[in-house]
């Protein structure tokens, strides 16, 4: 293992920040969702890096990542379905225009 | 003669030249990669000739017979023609994505070659997640089609791309379920282990003998996964002209064409590895080189079956095809998987002799197949009596 | 040494792709950049010797989630993405906050000592993951199936065209 | 062991990616280039193109992708279980069966709601 653990962590932080920026600043809801996926991926990188460097014999880290996969997929499926539903009635998926609590 | 030994003596020769170990490894990888690439390209030329010739013979035609003896040089002539043809990029197209799509298409199918075991331990990369690797790079192929369909900026291309992706996604599920059965029986995702777990006198250990329904399911799903007739809706000229690659010409089209043929061959190779025992065959433990012969013979036999089906059957409608996948193949795959799991576990817990488990697995397969066929038969019979002639209409079949 | 160079190349490409995802105005391009990010992370998983996760990352993220996103993009017809302003009005605030967060975290991480273990990954890692699912992690495993079921039901309810 | 196997995949990936690019560049050098507006227009069987090609799609495609995602995840959960199958007991098998049946319920739901129909 020639690569220090810190490198992976900093990489994950950078990825998380980029995803976070997309969530905060993009107007299009699908782009916001892509940002969330980036953040979840950053979390996965962290989980795997910690598993490999700190507890390689205990595979809980990898198992957690698979659960994160499940959560990410469920989130994407429902989130995108919501957007399709909203688009159908409002003809827009820009988050700053969807400001009413009804369809 | 052992292919493995040739590789090892090559490494020893390199080390003898005084090259440092890291570089020896790198040269080894490089040589291996070039060998796999060469094999894939040679295969592509051979397969195109073979498929055209077979289709010709089956349909009472001659097939290619002008260039060279038996038209053998025809694929090379085609390749030369495609190399020198004018390449037309539609003015409307999204250029970078448009050019990237054929590259990804070839890339994904070439990558699949890296893990196929041609004989015992004769494999590009003997990785522990072989089956998942195949699924992963198969998934990359759908991305190439989406890119091609979208970037051409043509309604037919987009529609064709989306249709074919919906088809490939759907049929990936039965394939994944069926691939799980050999994994379950062997207890490993390593393709080499799965093939060597099917040993036995004169091929009696092949999984096709104990899981024939699973093999049949794989074969049907692979027809769809390889975009071949009767599931070749992306090529339905009468409906969507030619699918996602309509705006592609010259060498870019050639790459899609090549990826298509190699994909079929890979699907045959996967069937061979998972169900037909891979390189296993008589006397293969005495003469390891025979394994390569057996492997290629079985794979070409599977390819022949694919070509035969393609030349024989008419095309399905898209609603029939999707319904067939989700309403027939997926429940059947789940039933086979759970049935196999329960029987294997019972066999292990009650310490039955091995043949007992195998016989039960075979019986379970036949039962699942018969139940499925009778349900389908009853359902189509009730359909023909009603006005609704759409096969697999909305309601669940009334049992 | 080779590992470090490889890591820097892969990490740099992945981060550039991630920036592309955030910056691209065309949503389809953003989705393609996202696919690049997913692929880069799969390579990182392989470098961390988590081969199962590397393959699963490509299958789930590129094969399933990216395709889902592309389909949703086509359904919402905003593919051109040339709408006025890809960012909302507080984007510079968001930028400042995110940069601050990154610098703070980076500063903390560099100072943090981690007790690294130099052990090998067990040879039967995939089998151990499987045993984990039905052993120690059985409750999350079953909850995951409920989650997927609920997601499926909910998403079908939302996305279905009701009047057809 | 791991490095040895994945090293080949890495080298091969680079070669497999560069090879088609090199061929395309080569054909770009030797092929004729005579574009004209008509040739470069979108091909729709000779009929003039109407409107943008990037039209809105029906939700049908999304529904299939959705069901696919759920079952793909199921496969990812079940593959390690299948590998570990010989090392786990009856109880584990029942857990896996519950897991599969849960998703089968989802499939039945989609079936009942006509999400599996291609209209």
Q: At B119, is the secondary structure helix, strand, or coil?
A: strand
Q: Measured between alpha carbons, how far is D76 from A21 in angstroms, rounded to an integer?
A: 30
A11-26 tens-digit pLDDT: 999 999 999 999 998 8
CB pairs under 8 A between A and D: 19
Do B247 and B90 touch, CB atoms closer than 8 A? yes
Q: Which residues of B touch D102 (CB under 8 A)?
A: none
Do A69 and A43 touch, CB atoms closer than 8 A? no
Do B215 and B275 touch, CB atoms closer than 8 A? yes
Q: Compute the nearest-CA separation of A100 from chain C (Å).
A: 17
Q: Which residues of D touch B99 (CB under 8 A)?
A: 24
Q: What is the pTM of this model?
A: 0.91
Scanning C24-137, the segments in alpha helix (DSSP H) are 27-47, 51-57, 67-76, 91-111, 125-134
**Which is nearest to C66 in space by CA: C96, C97, C42, C32?**
C32
- Do D42 and B84 make contact, defined as CB atoms within 8 angstroms? no
- Do D55 and B155 make contact, defined as CB atoms within 8 angstroms? yes
Asked if residue D66 has pLDDT above 50, the reply is yes
Asked if this assembly's ipTM is beyond 0.85, the reply is yes
User: A69 CB near a chain D CB, below 8 Å?
Assistant: yes
Q: Compute the nearest-CA separation of A29 from chain C (Å).
A: 10
User: C40 CB near a chain B CB, below 8 Å?
Assistant: no
Asked if residue A35 has pLDDT above 90, the reply is yes
Asked if residue A30 has pLDDT above 90, the reply is no
Do B185 and B207 touch, CB atoms closer than 8 A? yes
Burial of B201 (0-12, 13-18, 19+ CB in 10 A): exposed
Q: Compute the nearest-CA separation of A36 from chain C (Å).
A: 11
Contacts of B317 (CB under 8 A, 6+ apart): none
Q: Which residues of chain B have pLDDT under 50?
A: 394-399
Q: Measured between alpha carbons, how far is D40 from D28 in angstroms, rounded to an integer?
A: 17
CB pairs under 8 A between B and C: 62
Closest residue of chain A to D76, computed from CA coordinates: A66
Q: CA B157, B158, B164, B167: dihedral to nearest 10 degrees?
A: -160
Residue B247: phi, psi to the nearest 5? -90, 5
| pLDDT for the residue A102 | 58
User: D59 CB near a chain A CB, below 8 Å?
Assistant: yes
Read off the pLDDT of each residue in D26-31 and give the average, rounded to a whole number.
85
- Do C52 and B129 make contact, defined as CB atoms within 8 angstroms? yes
Q: Compute the nearest-CA separation of C150 from chain D (Å).
A: 8
Q: What is the DSSP string of B131-175?
A: HHHHHHHHHHHHHHHHHHHHHTT-HHHHHHHHHHHHHHHHHHHHH
Q: Which residues of A touch C148 (CB under 8 A)?
A: 70, 73-74
Cβ neighbours of B374 (radius 10 Å): 10
**Cα separations in angstroms, C63 against B202, C31, D73:** 39, 13, 11
**Residue A36: alpha-carbon gap to chain centroid:** 3
Do A91 and A41 touch, CB atoms closer than 8 A? no
| pLDDT for the residue C81 | 47
Which structure tokens are listed for A70? Answer: 């499940």
| pLDDT for the residue B236 | 60
- Do D74 and C56 make contact, defined as CB atoms within 8 angstroms? no
Burial of C145 (0-12, 13-18, 19+ CB in 10 A): buried
Q: Half-sphere exposure of residue C55, counting CA atoms within 13 Å on the CB side?
A: 26
Q: At D94, is the secondary structure helix, strand, or coil?
A: helix
Which structure tokens are listed for B74? Answer: 């025809």
- Do D77 and C74 make contact, defined as CB atoms within 8 angstroms? no
* pLDDT band at residue C164 using 50, 70 and 90 as cut-offs: very low
Q: Measured between alpha carbons, how far is B202 from B25 in angstroms, rounded to an integer?
A: 37
| pLDDT for the residue B133 | 93
- State the residue for tokens 């065959």: B281
Q: Compute the nearest-CA separation of B65 from chain C (Å).
A: 41
B106-144 tens-digit pLDDT: 999 999 999 999 888 778 888 888 899 999 998 888 999
Choose, out of D10, D15, D20, D109, the residue to mutate when testing the contact with B (most B CBs < 10 Å): D20
Closest residue of chain C to A97, computed from CA coordinates: C88
- Do B132 and C59 make contact, defined as CB atoms within 8 angstroms? yes
Read off the pLDDT of each residue in C55-75 and give the average, rounded to a whole number.
90
Q: Measured between alpha carbons, how far is C72 from A34 in angstroms, rounded to an integer?
A: 12
Q: Measured between alpha carbons, how far is B286 from C26 in angstroms, rounded to an integer?
A: 60
Q: Measured between alpha carbons, how far is C144 from C152 in angstroms, rounded to an integer?
A: 12
Touching subunits of A (3+ CB pairs, under 8 Å) are C, D
Partner-chain residue, chosen from B22, B129, B142, that has the shortest CB–CB distance to C67: B142
Q: CA B111, B112, B115, B117: dihedral to nearest 10 degrees?
A: -130
Asked if residue D1 has pLDDT above 70, the reply is no
Can you name the residues that pair with B338 across neighbouring β-strands? none
| pLDDT for the residue B8 | 79
Partner-chain residue, chosen from B137, B172, B189, that has the shortest CB–CB distance to C126: B189
**Residue C129: alpha-carbon gap to chain centroid:** 21
Which structure tokens are listed for D32? Answer: 């004729």
Q: Which of B203-212, C115-124, D100-109 has the highest mean pLDDT?
A: D100-109
| pLDDT for the residue C7 | 93
Q: Measured between alpha carbons, how far is D62 from D15 in angstroms, rounded to an integer?
A: 35
| pLDDT for the residue B61 | 85
> Between residues C131 and B62, which one has the greater pLDDT?
C131
Burial C103-142 (b: 16+ CB within 10 A, else e): eebbeebeeeeeeeeeeebeebbbbbbbbbbbbebbebbb
Q: Which residues of B touch C58 (CB under 8 A)?
A: 136-137, 139-140
Partner-chain residue, chosen from D9, D114, D118, that has the shortest CB–CB distance to B322: D118
Q: Compute the nearest-CA separation of C102 from chain B (Å).
A: 32
Q: Which residues of C touch B147 (CB under 8 A)?
A: 32
| pLDDT for the residue B398 | 42
D72-102 tens-digit pLDDT: 999 999 999 999 988 888 888 999 999 999 9
- Do D67 and C144 make contact, defined as CB atoms within 8 angstroms? no
- Do A76 and D69 make contact, defined as CB atoms within 8 angstroms? yes
A31: left (phi over 0), alpha (psi -120 to 50) or beta: alpha
**Cα separations in angstroms, B169 against A81, B40, B221, C1, C65:** 18, 25, 11, 41, 12
Q: Which residues of B touch C55 (CB under 8 A)?
A: 129, 132-133, 135-136
H/E stretch holding C16 reads helix C2-23
Do B364 and B343 touch, CB atoms closer than 8 A? yes
Is A in contact with B (3 or more beta carbon pairs below 8 Å)? no
Q: Compute the nearest-CA separation of D52 from chain B (Å).
A: 8
Asked if residue C58 has pLDDT above 90, the reply is yes
* pLDDT band at residue C162 using 50, 70 and 90 as cut-offs: low
Give the lowest-confidence range in B279-288, B322-331, C76-85, D15-24: C76-85
Asked if residue C78 has pLDDT above 60, the reply is no
Q: What is the DSSP string of C34-55?
A: HHHHHHHHHHHHHHTT-HHHHH
User: D73 CB near a chain A CB, below 8 Å?
Assistant: yes
Closest residue of chain C to D68, computed from CA coordinates: C64
Touching subunits of D (3+ CB pairs, under 8 Å) are A, B, C
Q: Measured between alpha carbons, how far is B123 from B290 in angstroms, rounded to an integer?
A: 15
Q: Please report, in angstroms and rounded to a whole number, the separation of the first and last CA atoms in chain B.
A: 59
Which structure tokens are listed for B165? Answer: 């992706």
Burial B8-30 (b: 16+ CB within 10 A, else e): eeeeeebeeeeeeeeebbeebbe
Closest residue of chain C to A56, computed from CA coordinates: C121
User: D66 CB near a chain A CB, below 8 Å?
Assistant: yes
H/E stretch holding B187 reads none
Q: CA C13, C16, C22, C27: dihedral to nearest 10 degrees?
A: -60
């Amino acid at each position: 293992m020639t690569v220090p653990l810190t490198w992976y962590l900093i990489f994950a932080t950078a990825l998380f920040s980029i995803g976070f920026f997309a969530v905060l600043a993009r107007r299009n809801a699908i782009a916001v969702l892509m940002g969330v996926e980036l953040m979840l991926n950053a979390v996965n990188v962290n989980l795997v890096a910690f598993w490999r460097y700190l507890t390689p014999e205990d595979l809980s880290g990898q198992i957690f990542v698979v659960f994160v996969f499940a959560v990410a997929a469920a989130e994407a499926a429902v989130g995108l379905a919501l957007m399709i539903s909203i688009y159908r009635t409002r003809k827009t998926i820009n988050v700053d225009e969807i400001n009413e609590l009804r369809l | 003669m052992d292919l493995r030994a040739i590789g090892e003596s090559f490494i020893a020769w390199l080390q003898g030249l005084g090259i440092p170990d890291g570089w020896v490894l790198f040269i080894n990888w490089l040589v291996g990669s070039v060998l796999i690439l060469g094999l894939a390209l040679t295969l592509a030329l051979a397969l195109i000739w073979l498929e055209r010739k077979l289709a010709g013979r089956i349909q009472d035609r001659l097939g290619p017979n002008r260039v060279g003896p038996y038209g053998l040089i025809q694929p090379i002539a085609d390749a030369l023609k495609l190399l020198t043809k004018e390449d037309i990029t539609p003015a409307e197209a999204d250029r970078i994505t448009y050019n990237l799509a054929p590259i990804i298409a070839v890339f994904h199918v070439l990558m699949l070659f890296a893990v196929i075991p041609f004989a015992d331990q004769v494999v590009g990369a003997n990785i522990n997640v072989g089956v998942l690797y195949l699924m992963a790079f198969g998934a990359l192929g759908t991305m190439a089609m989406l890119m091609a369909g979208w970037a051409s900026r043509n309604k037919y291309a987009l529609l064709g791309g989306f249709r074919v992706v919906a088809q490939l996604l759907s049929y990936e599920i039965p394939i994944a379920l069926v691939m799980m059965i050999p994994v379950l029986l062997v207890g490993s995702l390593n393709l080499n282990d799965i093939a060597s777990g099917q040993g036995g006198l004169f091929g009696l250990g092949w999984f096709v003998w104990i899981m024939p329904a699973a093999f049949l399911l794989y074969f049907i799903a692979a027809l769809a996964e390889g975009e071949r007739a009767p599931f070749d809706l992306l090529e339905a000229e009468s409906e969507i002209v030619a699918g996602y690659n309509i705006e592609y010409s010259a060498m870019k089209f050639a790459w899609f064409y090549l990826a298509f043929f190699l994909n079929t061959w890979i699907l045959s190779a996967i069937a061979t590895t998972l169900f037909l025992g891979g390189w296993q065959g008589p006397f293969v433990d005495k003469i390891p080189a025979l394994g390569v012969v057996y492997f290629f013979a079985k794979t070409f036999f599977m390819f022949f079956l694919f070509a035969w089906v393609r030349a024989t059957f008419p095309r399905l409608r898209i609603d029939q095809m999707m319904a067939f996948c989700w309403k027939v193949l997926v429940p059947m795959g789940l039933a086979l998987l759970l049935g196999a799991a329960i029987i294997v576990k019972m066999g292990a817990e009650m310490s039955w002799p091995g043949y007992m488990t195998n016989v039960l697995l075979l019986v379970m397969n036949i039962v699942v197949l018969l139940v499925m066929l009778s349900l389908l038969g009853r359902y189509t019979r009730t359909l023909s009596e009603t006005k609704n002639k759409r096969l697999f209409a909305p309601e669940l079949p009334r049992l | 040494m080779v590992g470090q160079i490889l890591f820097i190349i892969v990490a740099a490409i992945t981060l550039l792709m991630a920036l592309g995802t955030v910056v691209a105005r065309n949503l389809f391009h953003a989705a393609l950049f996202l696919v690049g990010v997913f692929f880069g992370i799969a390579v990182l998983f392989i470098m961390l010797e988590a081969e199962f996760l590397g393959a699963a990352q490509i299958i789930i993220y590129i094969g399933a989630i990216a395709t889902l996103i592309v389909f949703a993009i086509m359904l919402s017809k905003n593919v051109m993405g040339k709408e006025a302003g890809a960012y909302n009005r507080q984007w510079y605030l968001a930028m400042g906050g995110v940069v601050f967060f990154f610098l703070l975290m980076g500063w903390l991480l560099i100072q943090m000592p981690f007790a690294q273990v130099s052990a090998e990954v067990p040879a039967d890692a995939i089998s151990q993951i499987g045993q984990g699912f039905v052993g120690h992690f059985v409750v999350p495993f079953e909850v995951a199936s409920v989650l997927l079921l609920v997601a499926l039901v909910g998403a079908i309810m939302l996305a279905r065209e009701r009047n057809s | 062991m791991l490095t040895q196997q994945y090293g080949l995949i890495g080298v091969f990936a680079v070669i497999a990616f560069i090879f088609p690019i090199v061929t395309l560049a080569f054909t770009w050098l030797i092929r004729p280039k005579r574009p004209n507006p008509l040739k470069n227009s979108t091909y729709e069987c000779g009929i003039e193109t109407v409107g943008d090609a990037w039209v809105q799609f029906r939700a049908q495609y999304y529904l299939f992708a959705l069901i696919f995602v759920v079952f793909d995840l199921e496969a990812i959960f079940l593959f390690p279980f299948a590998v570990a199958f010989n090392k786990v007991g009856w109880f584990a098998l029942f857990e896996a069966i519950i897991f599969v049946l849960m998703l089968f319920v989802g499939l039945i739901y989609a079936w009942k709601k006509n999400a599996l129909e291609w209209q």
